[in-house]
Amino acid sequence: MIKFENNQDFVQNFIKKPLIVNNLEIKNRLALAPLAGTSDTIFRTFSSQYGAGLVTTELVSAKGICYDPYLTKNYRYLEINPKKDSKIAIQLFGHEPYSFQKAIETILEHPILKECHIIDINMGCPVKKVVKQGAGSALMRTPELAEEIVKTARAITESHNKLLSVKFRSGWDQSQINAVNFAKRLEAVGAELITLHARTRKQMYQGKADWEIIKKVKAAVKIPVYGNGDLSDLDSIMKMYQKTGCDGFALGRAAQGNPWIFKKILEPDVKVSKQEWLDLVCSHLDQMIAKTGDEQSAIIRMRSQLAYYLRGKKNSSSLKNQLMRPKSKEEIISLLKAVEFDE
C-alpha cells in the first residue's frame, strides 16, 4: 500500500490514476454503486459528468430477461448511454446459472447494451424479495452455486471481451462472515473485479461498516477490490484506503441527490452554486418527462429523487412534503427556486 502525505497527494496520485482491469482502463478510482430506483441512465450520466469513473445500472432480474427476450419490459432498467456514461456495468441478480447465461447473451447481442464494459453479478442485495429467491446475499450461503453462476457468466463475457465483476457483502450475519473465502472462490472461477459492501445481510444498511473485512479480502485476492460502505467524502475515502489498501471506492447512498460528490472528491475546493443545483434538478425532471412521455408519470417517479436533492437543505422536511403535491413541472420548479441554499 502506497503512503500519501495528505489528501491532495492522495487525490492526485491515487484517486485520479486509472485503474487497469485486464484490457479495460477505468479513468479513476471512483464508482457509482448500483442504487435501485436511483441509478437509472439519467442519474448515471450526471454522475459520469461529475467524475465517476465507473457507473452501474440498477439490479435487473436475469430470469426476468429470459422471459423478456425483446426487452420490452426490462429495457428501461438496462438502458445505457455509451456516449455519455463513463465505463458502465450492467448488474444482474438471480440464482440460476442458466438464467444468467441467457440474460447475458441477450444483453451482449443487443445493438446498444452490447456497448457496456462490465457484467456485474449482484450477490449482496439484502432485500427480502430478492433473498427469498436464493439470490442477492443469499448466495453467500450457497458458495457452490455462486461459483457455478460466475463460471457460467464468465464463459459468455470472455467470448464477448467483457469484464465480469461481482458485488457481495461481508457475510450473512456476524456468525457467518465468509467474504474472504467467498472472494477467493469466485476469483478462482473467473471473477475479475470485486465490490465489497462491508456489512452483513442482517445489518441491511444499518450500523457501521466493518472495513477490516475489505482489508482481508484485498490481501487474499489478486483481482481489484472496490470498497463500499460508509463512504461520504474525501476524508472517509482516505481513511478506507489507509485501513484497507483497496483499489477503488464505490459510493452509494451518499451520491443520491448528490452527483456532485464525485467532483468534490476529485476537486476538494469545488463549490456547487444554487444555479448549478437548480439547473441539474430541472434537467433531471425534463429528462424524466422525455423518457416517460408523460408529465404526470415523470413527476411521480421523480418524487423520491427530489427528496434526495433536498437533503441537507434548510427546512428540507417541509419542502419534501410540499414537493409531493405538485401536479405540474412549473409548480415543482417554483418550489425549487424558493429553496434556501448555502453557497
Measured over the CA atoms of residue 68, residue 71, residue 76 and residue 77, the dihedral's sign is positive
The C-alpha cell that represents 128 in the structure block: 427480502
Residue by residue, DSSP assigns 112-162 as TGGG-SEEEEEE----HHHHTTT-GGGGGG-HHHHHHHHHHHHHHHHHTT-
CB neighbours (10 Å) of residue 204? 13
All cell numbers assigned to 144: 457452490
Output the nine-digit C-alpha cell for 198: 462491508
What distance in Å separates the CA atoms of residue 320 and residue 330, rounded to the nearest whole number?
A: 16
Catalytic residue among 116, 125, 246, 282: 125
Q: How far apart are CA 85 and CA 47, in angstroms?
A: 8
Give catalytic status of residue 66 as yes or no: no
Taking alpha carbons only, the member of 176, 188, 108, 113 closest to residue 150 is 188
Taking the C-alpha atoms of residue 118 and residue 252, their distance in angstroms, rounded to an integer, is 18
What positions carry a catalytic annotation?
A: 125
